[in-house]
Structure 1
Amino acid sequence: MDTISRHIFKQTVTATLMILATLTLIVWMTTALRRIDVMTEQGQGFLIFVQITLLALPRLVTAVAPVALLIATIHVLNRLHNDSGIVILTAAGATTWRLMRPFLLLAGLVSVFVLISNAYLTPYGLRMLRDYITEVRTDLISQVIQPGNFVTPEDGLTFHIRDREADGTLRGLMVNDSREEQQTLTYLADRGRVIEQDGQPYIIMREGHIHRVDGDRDEVQVIAFDSYIFDISEMGPERGMRSYEPKERILPALWTKQGPHDWRIEKQPGDFRAELHDRLSNPLYSIAFVLVAVAMLGYARTTREGANHTVALVFVTCVGARGLGLAMTNMADEEVWAVPMLYAIPIGTVIGALVLAQRNMRPHQVRRFDIRLPSMLRALPLRLRAGRTVTER
């Protein structure tokens, strides 16, 4: 790269990193507030809370990076316009393609980062996040539940105890399980105890009843028991093979079955198809955003009038393309025809931006008639005077 390209590249990198850090911090704080129940309701320390929320950072950075690059590109182009840098470059013979090089180089780097993050970093982070949260919830049953408090470790599951003895026995145990839409189970036991067998946690309940309500019926079925084992292993991290969700899998695991326990890939083919092509098409938006910004703002203008409208148009175009891509992702799990659209939208945006950049790069042609018209008008009185003289003779 020459001196000008290095200068533009350095400015864009600096702006991108600053905007990326700011946007990521804002989104991270929003995500952290959703996990605040880990501290308030589940009695965990601040360090565990920070560790859990930080595991979501790879996914946040991947989502925010193209937007940060777009804002940084617009900022640098506006700065060049205000300093008359683009006018000087154009006067020196530089074209839009010359100005586009450093932006495209950074867009390529961001696209590679997004692809790597989508393929490996984000899935590993989500796996660790899931294991961490479920491990905390499992720990909740045996250590954190305080007598007299109602604790909800996950939606539809509530625990309550009257007292806890020194040996760990739970007195006055109540468990309400409404995780299934068609059934609600309420367990009431005089006492209970958390045990671990073969690496799996269970609650042994003694001398109690099960109140069962099916569907919309008002009838309650009551079942008495002397001893009942309540399985809480689903709340904890699974040992051995696990069937991960599509977003928790690395890229190769989205099209190949991972062992005999991997039932999701057969029962949810649409979800895996949408996740796979969404990850592969996402990196293209970084290049598309940069090209749209440079095509609309990267040419010399004689006036700054309408600059704000152009910036707004850049945002509307990029947000519209990304929103349409997300809509196609949601449709791709049910409709196969939506899969090509995931690639057609960013590629079409790139082609449209290149055509617009080529059009703005060409100088406007002025017809010879327009150039000769002033001289013709100046000569018109002389011709009229000469014609009048000939007529008089």
Structure 2
Amino acid sequence: MAMPAVSRYIMQQIAGPFGFFSLALTGVIWLTQSLRLLDVIITKGQTALTYATFTGLVLPSVLTLTLPAALFCAVLYALNRLITDHELVVLSAAGQSVWTIVRPLMYLAVCIALCVYVISLWIMPLTKAIMKDEVMEIRADLAVIFLREGAFSNPIQGLTVYIRERDAGGEMRGILVHDNRNLDNPTTYMAERGVLIKSGDDPRLIMLNGNVQRRSAADGSLSLLYFERYVYDLSAFMPDRGVRWREPEERYLSELFFPDASAADRLHLDELRAEGHRRLTAPLYVITLAFVAMAALLSGPASRTTQIWRIGAALVATLAVRLVGIGIENLVERQNWLIPGLYLWPMLALGGALLLLSDRGQRWILSLRLRNSRAQPLGTG
């Protein structure tokens, strides 16, 4: 069935603003997340390719945030332009109801909500799991830290490493290792040359022609030991490479509602269930926020003089809806009995918007405005 000409026109009017706001909001938030990752990548000595991979893996989670907001802004912008250009007045004079405008916007909102469902239920868990695994690999790769030349590195808290230069064969020159894990007896290792080797799975730093400096916090004394060859065991700095507990954001819906019988999963059972219900309800806000914008601008007779108030009301209502929703999401992690609120709140807000857009709501708003206009002269006289 072909879409009516009016519906096609409304879709054309909103397509451009939606694309613009999607790109703008996604770009800003994606850039913010990318800058946070940049610091991690630099301190861990990773390549530009790794950075590009990480920023790509962040994109799905960014889209789940920006698409609902972009649609809300696009609906607000497109409807405001139609009103200020008197196009809605023309449609109304031609016998078109408010639902002629609402219907194509509703179809678009449902399509975007389905896209958000696909991202949050399948794509985002996959990218989150890949990213967490990559982070674990980076943290475990101490060799990368020792490949950085001319920079101080902190692979873990309490360990500072500096390498002046490294040749093609892997030999390092100008080595400094400061071990400050024991604050009472910090130790500094300095060597002319060295090489990083692996004994089994345990990394070791072989240092040649250097010294070990240990300072006692008790009496402030400094001991100095010179060596020709010193083996520094780095295995204590290696993270546990056992089975990693997968966080809720890395799991698919079935894994959130039906987790393994492991002790860790049982301990986080409420958190897992809360994340599962949040995934199911978060895309509902795509439709809810779009209808909030439509209700604010289309309920009652449209005019230029009331537009600023309508836009302000839409922004305030949207902010209230999302803040309450976020509050419920945070409470559900500790109070699972509030889970029905995750579903009820966006549906309640949607119901209120639909009521304002209905014929009954339109008549109520019109009667309210007529009552206020009649009372105004009495109040001013």
Q: Fold match, TM over 0.5?
A: yes
TM bin, normalised by shorter chain, reads: 0.7 to 0.9
- SS of the equivalent of 2:106 reads helix
The 5-angstrom pairing of residues 1-393 of structure 1 reads 1-38=3-40, 40-142=42-144, 144-146=146-148, 149-153=151-155, 156=157, 158-161=159-162, 168=171, 171-176=175-180, 194-196=196-198, 200=201, 202-203=203-204, 228=233, 230-234=235-239, 241-258=243-260, 263-299=263-299, 301=301, 303-358=303-358, 359-362=360-363, 364=366
Distance in 2 (alpha carbons) for counterparts of 1:169 and 1:193: 6
Structure 1 stretch displaced more, 136-145 or 297-306:
136-145
Structure 1 stretch displaced more, 125-134 or 99-108:
125-134
Q: Residues 309-345 of structure 1, C-alpha deviation per residue, up to 9 Å, x if partnerless?
A: 1111111111211111111111111112321111111
Change (3 A) 1:228 1:45: closer
User: Which ranges in structure 2 are unaligned for 5 or more consecutive residues?
Assistant: 218-229, 369-381
1:274/1:339 contact within 8 Å kept = yes
Q: Displacement of 1:266 after TM fit? A: 1.4
Q: How many residues align?
A: 349
Change (3 A) 1:337 1:256: closer
Structure 1 stretch displaced more, 348-357 or 246-255:
246-255
- SS of the equivalent of 1:160 reads strand
Query: What is the percent sequence identity of the aligned residues?
Result: 26
Distance in 1 (alpha carbons) for counterparts of 2:126 and 2:293: 33
What does residue 372 of structure 2 align with? Answer: none
Q: Residues 287-329 of structure 1, C-alpha deviation per residue, up to 9 Å, x if partnerless?
A: 1111111112124635311211111111111121111111111
2:113/2:287 contact within 8 Å kept = yes
Compare CA radii of gyration and give the structure with the larger one: 1
Q: Residues 3-30 of structure 1, C-alpha deviation per residue, up to 9 Å, x if partnerless?
A: 1111112322332122111111111111
User: Which ranges in structure 1 are unaligned for 5 or more consecutive residues?
Assistant: 214-224, 367-393
1:69/1:290 contact within 8 Å kept = yes
Tell me the TM-score normalised to structure 1 length. Answer: 0.75
What does residue 220 of structure 2 align with? Answer: none
- SS of the equivalent of 1:35 reads helix
Q: Displacement of 1:194 after TM fit? A: 4.8
- SS of the equivalent of 2:246 reads coil
